[in-house]
Amino acid sequence: MVVFHHPKRLHAESNVASLIRPARMYEAFSRIGEEVLEITGNGPEREKKWEDLKPRILSEVGEGVFYSESVNVPPALTWLRKKPHRMNFDYRLIQSIRNAGMPTGLFYRDIHWGFERPRGGGLRPFIKNKCIPVFGRRELKHYERSVDVLFLPDVRMADYLPLTFANSEIRSLPPGGEQQENPARKFSPEGGINLLYVGNIAPPIYDLRGYFAASAEEEKVRLKVITRERALKLHGALYEFNDVDGPQVLHAQGQELQQHYQEADIALCVWEGVEYHRFVMPVKVYESIAHGVPLIVSSSAEVLARFVEREKIGWVVQNADEFTMLLRRLAEHPGEIVERRQAVESIRHLHTWDQRAREVVEALRGAEPAAHTENEITKR
């Protein structure tokens, strides 16, 4: 039995990574044979589900584990508008379950608030610069007291947390990919190299003009860019996209992406170097792996770059100039692409959402439950 907690509603179809992951993990626990008791939704919905499930959960603590998927904004902030007196609800829920003796685990998505500092005046910069960091540290203090296993995209992210989590086990839990019955098509050098980029195009971090221009200059290379409609509307003019010699630009999400991955020879995961990206492990990386597609990634994404090099599932470039040279080399030596695709195929089964769900259950069932102190969530 898995008690699954997420402070938002689940969205099975989305183009936002923070919404994709909770839905995929929820589905995966069921697929691997676990009974899933769900506590998700908006504040009142979570309250109602907890009230209904609490008697069973607290009476069967030895039969299950608790797992939570965090959100970008600390859960306490989601209560401020309508029920500020309930802002500790989610934290106390986790503590209550742990105090009852059930092992608790939480995936902490990112620590963007420790890096982002929007400029200018107004309410939005004030919230991001002042409010969210305060609530972010407060959130982590609650988790440090109530979580047996802290899951991170990579354990090296722990170096950037303001707390040590000395009494919790810290584990890597990168995203996964959906099991694909039909892997990507076989690479045909005669057809040229088909590149796929899925993601943001907003500068300065995602200023990809150099990469897109390099792709357009190579005769044997074709690039397909899939980005959000809003991003294209705001930044499309910067790239001067056209239908003659530029990349093919599309909007797609969820199941719509499958065809594009199946048609791709190589996927791109590139951006300008920023400190925050040193430890990121994007969902799109594992979507590519699930479809048998090797990757070209930025060296500034240190954890990701080491993973790609270690598994020999792609190439690492420092900038657009290195990317240009790599494309020319691959056009002359397409056998490299075949080798990388074979390497991806050999590890696909290790990086599915089902495998991530198994890793969670195994870690939590091996964790030592906390001693009982109290098992009620008291209202303030």
Q: Which uninterrupted H or E stretch holds 40?
A: strand 36-40
**109-146: pLDDT as tens digits:** 887 766 655 555 555 665 566 677 888 888 999 999 99
> The tokens 């039995």 sit on which residue?
1
Distance separating alpha carbons of residues 205 and 207, to the nearest angstrom: 6
Q: Is the preceding peptide bond at 204 cis, omega within 30 degrees of 0?
A: yes
- Residue 339 in contact with residue 266, Cβ under 8 Å? no
Neighbours of 302 (CB within 10 A): 17
Using alpha carbons, select from 5, 51, 42 the residue that is nearest to residue 379: 51
Architecture of domain 189-350: 3-Layer(aba) Sandwich (3.40)
Distance, C-alpha 86 to centroid of its chain: 28
In the predicted model, what is the mean pLDDT of the chain?
88
Which are the contacts of 121, defined by CB distance < 8 A and separation ≥ 6? none
Which band of pLDDT confidence, cut at 50, 70 and 90, is reported for residue 74?
Answer: confident
Domain regions of the chain by residue span: 2-176+353-365, 189-350
Neighbours of 87 (CB within 10 A): 19
**237-259: pLDDT as tens digits:** 999 888 777 899 999 888 889 99
> The tokens 């994007």 sit on which residue?
282
DSSP string for residues in 86-103: GTTHHHHHHHHHHHTT--
**313-368: pLDDT as tens digits:** 999 999 999 999 999 999 999 999 999 999 999 999 999 999 999 999 999 999 86
Using alpha carbons, select from 270, 281, 304 the residue that is nearest to residue 197: 270
**181-208: pLDDT as tens digits:** 766 567 777 889 999 999 999 988 899 9
Please indicate whether the domains covering 2-176+353-365 and 189-350 agree at the CATH topology level: yes
The pLDDT value given to residue 379: 32
The pLDDT value given to residue 83: 67
Q: Which uninterrupted H or E stretch holds 297?
A: strand 295-298
Give per-residue burial for 200-238: e unless 16+ CB within 10 Å, then b: ebbeeebbbeebbebbbebeebbbbbbbbeeebeebeee
Using alpha carbons, select from 101, 164, 161, 106 the residue that is nearest to residue 137: 161
Average pLDDT of 67-86?
75
For residue 26, the 8-state DSSP code is H
Distance separating alpha carbons of residues 264 and 19, to the nearest angstrom: 25
Using alpha carbons, select from 235, 300, 225, 311 the residue that is nearest to residue 270: 300
Q: Is residue 375 predicted with pLDDT exceeding 50?
A: no
**228-237: pLDDT as tens digits:** 999 999 998 9
State the sign of the Cα–Cα–Cα–Cα dihedral 52, 53, 56, 59. Answer: negative
- CATH entry 3.40.800.20 includes domain 2-176+353-365: no
Its pTM stands at 0.89
Q: Which amino acid is at 275?
A: E
- Residue 288 in contact with residue 351, Cβ under 8 Å? no
The pLDDT value given to residue 117: 58
Distance separating alpha carbons of residues 3 and 39, to the nearest angstrom: 7
Instruction: Report strand pairing: 104-107 vs 65-69.
Output: parallel
